[in-house]
């Protein structure tokens, strides 16, 4: 479905208490993190400054609880009736803020996601 060149693969988990405030905060944070190399090879450019693209994949499994038992519990994830509109709003805000291309998969579908990781940067970014 969705495909991008250089930029970010964002695995987006939505929690039951997430609102427009958290969504906007996360869009601002991810689009402005200085994690792309400048002409000197230093991580000094943001997604917006580098002209990077974003592939956003809904990922409720980020809320998996694995401390008890042998089967993960996903009770901490938002119900799809909340998560899907939040996912769509997140993608819309990335476009509004100026990300050059925002691609998506299909919400709730089983997807084959492939990543070519260019460098040592994999981050977990959570809202306050």
Of 36, 60, 90, 104, the catalytic one is 60
Decide: 60 and 75 in contact? Cβ < 8 Å.
no
Could you identify the residue written with the tokens 């689009």? 31
Catalytic residue among 59, 65, 74, 104: 59
CB distance 83 to 17 below 8 Å: no
Query: What residues contact residue 72 under an 8 Å CB cut-off, 6+ apart?
Result: 61, 64, 65, 66
19 is catalytic: no
- Catalytic residue list contains 59: yes
From 3, 61, 65, 74, the catalytic residue: 61
For this structure, is 90 an active site residue? no
Q: State the sign of the Cα–Cα–Cα–Cα dihedral 59, 121, 37, 116.
A: negative
> 102: closest CA among 47, 35, 38, 22?
47
Active site members: 59-61
């Amino acid at each position: 479905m969705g495909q991008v060149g250089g930029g970010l693969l964002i695995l987006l988990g939505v929690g039951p208490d997430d609102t427009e405030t958290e969504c906007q905060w996360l869009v601002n944070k991810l689009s402005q993190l200085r994690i792309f190399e400048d002409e000197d090879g230093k991580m000094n450019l943001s997604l917006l400054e580098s002209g990077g693209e974003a592939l956003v994949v809904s990922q409720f499994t980020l809320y998996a609880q694995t401390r008890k038992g042998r089967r993960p519990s996903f009770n901490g994830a938002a119900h799809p009736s909340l998560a899907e509109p939040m996912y769509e709003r997140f993608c819309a805000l990335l476009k509004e803020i100026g990300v050059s291309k925002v691609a998506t998969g299909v919400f709730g579908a089983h997807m084959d996601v492939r990543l070519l990781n260019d460098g040592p940067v994999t981050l977990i970014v959570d809202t306050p």
